[in-house]
Each structure stands twice: as C-alpha cells, then as structure tokens.
Amino acid sequence: MSGPEPGPAAPRIRLIRGGPVIVDGPIDIDHDGETVHCDRFRVALCACGRSKIKPFCDTSHRRTRRR
C-alpha cells in the first residue's frame, strides 16, 4: 500500500528588512489584474513600492536614506 503522491513543495519566502521579499521560484504572481510567470530559481519582489518594474524589485530601496 502506498499513500498519496506528494505535491509540490511550498515556496520558501524570506523577508529582507529594508529590502525585497525573496521567493524561491519558479512562481506565478497575480499583479494588477494579470498573472506574471517567472521561471527564475529565486525572485525578488518589491516591498517598498518604489520599483519601476513592479512586482519585481529594481533595488530602488537602496537609493533612499534611512533616518
């Protein structure tokens, strides 16, 4: 007797303080009413809202001064 087949592993998600959200890919992202597919093995998603290529991070968070 064998049990049910294991499903795909849940993606690993890491929150970087002051930086992006790092997700192990490949992933599908629902953004602004459309689905974006990314085949990369690791994806950086914008968490600061400043990226010009949302939902992906373009390192805009690095150009701001912290107080």
pTM assigned to the model: 0.75
Q: Is 22 exposed, middle or buried (0-12, 13-18, 19+ CB in 10 A)?
A: middle
Burial 31-58 (b: 16+ CB within 10 A, else e): eeeeeeebeeeebbbbbeeebeebbbbe
- The confidence score (pLDDT) of residue 44 equals 96
How do residues 22-61 score in pLDDT, each as one tens digit?
999 999 999 999 999 999 999 999 999 999 999 999 999 8
Domain limits, the chain: 13-63
